[in-house]
Structure 1
Amino acid sequence: MNLTTKLCVSALALSFATEAAATEWNVSVWGKRRAFTEHIHKLAELVEEKTDGAFTMNISYGGLSKNRENLDGISIGAFEMAQFCAGYHPDKNRAITVLELPFLGVQTLDEEVAVSHAVYDHPAVADEMAQWNAMMLMTSPMPQYNIVGTGEARSELSEFDGMRVRATGGIGQAFEAVGAVPTSVTSSEAYQAMESGVVDTVAFAQHAHLSFGTINEADWWTANLNPGTVNCPVVVNIDAYDMLSDEERAALDESVPEAIDYYLSNYGELLKRWDEVLAEKDVQKVEISDEELAKFKDVAGQPIHDAWIADMSAQGLPAQELYDLVQATLAEQRGN
Structure 2
Amino acid sequence: MRKLLGRTAFAAVSLAFATEAMATEWNVSLWGKRRAFTEHVEKLAELVSEKTNGEFTLNISYGGLSKNTENLDGIAIGAFEMAQFCAGYHRDKNPSITVLELPFLGVTSLEQEIALSKAVYQHPATQEDLARWDATLLMPSPLPQYNLVGVGDAPTTLADFEGLSVRATGGIGAAMETIGAVPTSMSATEVRQAMDSGIVKAVSFAPHAHMSFGTIENGKWWTTNLNPGTVNCPVVVNTPALESLPEAHREALLGSVDEALAYYVDYYNNQTMAAWGPALEERGIEQVTFSDEEIAAFKEAAAAPAAAAWIEENTARGLPAQELYDLVTGMIAGES
Task: Write the distance in 2 (CA, Å) between the matches of 1:287 and 1:177.
Answer: 19
Paired position in structure 1 for 2:282: 280
Q: Look up the equivalent residue of 2:56 and give its one-letter code.
A: F
Q: Name whichever of 89-98 and 268-277 sits farther off.
A: 268-277
Structure 1 match to 2:311: 309
Write the distance in 2 (CA, Å) between the matches of 1:328 and 1:135. 25
Q: Report deviation, 1:5.
A: 4.1
User: Residue 10 of structure 1 corresponds to which residue in structure 2?
Assistant: 11
Of the structure 1 ranges 221-230 and 305-314, higher mean CA displacement relative to structure 2 is found in: 305-314
Q: Which secondary structure does the structure 2 equivalent of 1:273 belong to?
A: helix
- CA–CA distance in 2 between the matches of 1:7 and 1:332? 66
Matched AA of 1:317: L
Shift of 1:272: 2.5
What is the aligned partner in structure 2 of residue 237 from structure 1?
Answer: 238
What is the alpha-carbon distance in structure 2 between the residues aligned to residue 279 and residue 245 of structure 1? 51
**Superposition CA RMSD, Å:** 1.0
Which residue in 2 is equivalent to 1:265?
A: 266
Q: Give the corresponding residue for 2:302.
A: 300
Secondary structure of 1:236 counterpart: strand
> Aligned partner of 1:91: which letter?
D
Aligned residue for 1:53?
54
**For residues 33 and 24 of structure 1, what CA distance do their matches in structure 2 show?**
20
In structure 2, the residue matched to 1:78 is 79
1-structure distance, mates of 2:133, 2:209: 27
Deviations 1:181-209 (A, max 9, x none): 11111100100100111100000000000
What is the aligned partner in structure 2 of residue 109 from structure 1?
Answer: 110
Find the residue that maps to 2:120 and give its secondary structure.
Answer: helix
**How is 1:83-98 mapped onto 2 (pairs within 5 angstroms)?**
83-98=84-99
**Aligned length, in residue pairs:** 334
What is the distance in 2 between the residues matched to 1:123 and 1:9? 50
For normalisation by structure 2, the TM-score amounts to 0.97
Give the deviation of 1:2 after TM superposition: 4.0
Q: 2:127 — aligned with what?
A: 126
Distance 1:30 1:247 in 2: 29
Superposed CA offset, 1:91-140 (max 9, x none) = 00001110000101111111111111110010000000000000000000
Unaligned segments of structure 1, at least 5 residues: none
Q: Give the aligned partner of residue 329 of structure 2.
A: 327
For 1:282 and 1:102, locate their aligned partners in 2 and report how far apart those are by CA, in whole Å: 29
Counterpart AA for 1:254: G
**Match of 1:188, SS?**
helix
- Following superposition, the deviation at residue 236 of structure 1 comes to 0.5
**Does 2:187 correspond to 1:190?**
no
Per mean C-alpha deviation after superposition, the further-off stretch among 211-220 and 322-331 is 322-331
State the 4+ residue runs in structure 1 displaced beyond 2 angstroms: 1-6, 331-334
SS at match of 2:256: helix
CA distance in 2 between partners of 1:250 and 1:21 (Å): 15
Please name the residue that 2:217 is paired with.
216
